[in-house]
Amino acid sequence: MFAPHCPRCCRRVLLGTRRIVHFSWSGEGERVVTLRCHCGELLDSGQGPPPAIDGHQPMEPGTPLNGPATQEVTQPP
Ligand SMILES: [Zn+2]
């Protein structure tokens, strides 16, 4: 299994061997595996997230920032 970071999905994706589209050895004997993400993006097996967003945790989609601001203030007479 591989877990490269997909820039289109904005997260790491788990890809099995059936997702391999290209496999070769570089000149220095390094393994070069190209995988296709579920979204169709081609990824290098060792691909990590871009350093710009390192340490930044993206929010889950659909997370509400605040609840509805409809608080009724009832004053005693
Ligand atoms: Zn993807």
**Would you list the domain boundaries of the chain?**
5-51
**28 Cα–ligand 1 center, Å:** 29
Q: What do you get for the CA distance between the two ends of the chain, in Å? A: 68
- The pair phi, psi for residue 31, each rounded to 5°, is -75, 130
What pLDDT score was predicted for residue 26?
Answer: 82
* pLDDT (0 to 100) of residue 17: 94
Q: 39: pLDDT confidence band, cut at 50, 70 and 90?
A: very high
Please tell me the distance between residue 52's alpha carbon and the centre of ligand 1 in angstroms. 19
Total-model pTM:
0.58
Going from the Cα of 46 to the center of ligand 1, the distance in angstroms, rounded, reads 14
CA 29 / ligand 1 centre spacing (Å): 28
User: How far is the centre of ligand 1, averaged over its atoms, from the C-alpha of 26 (Å)?
Assistant: 25
Query: Tens digits of per-residue pLDDT, 44-73?
Result: 998 888 776 455 555 556 656 665 555 666
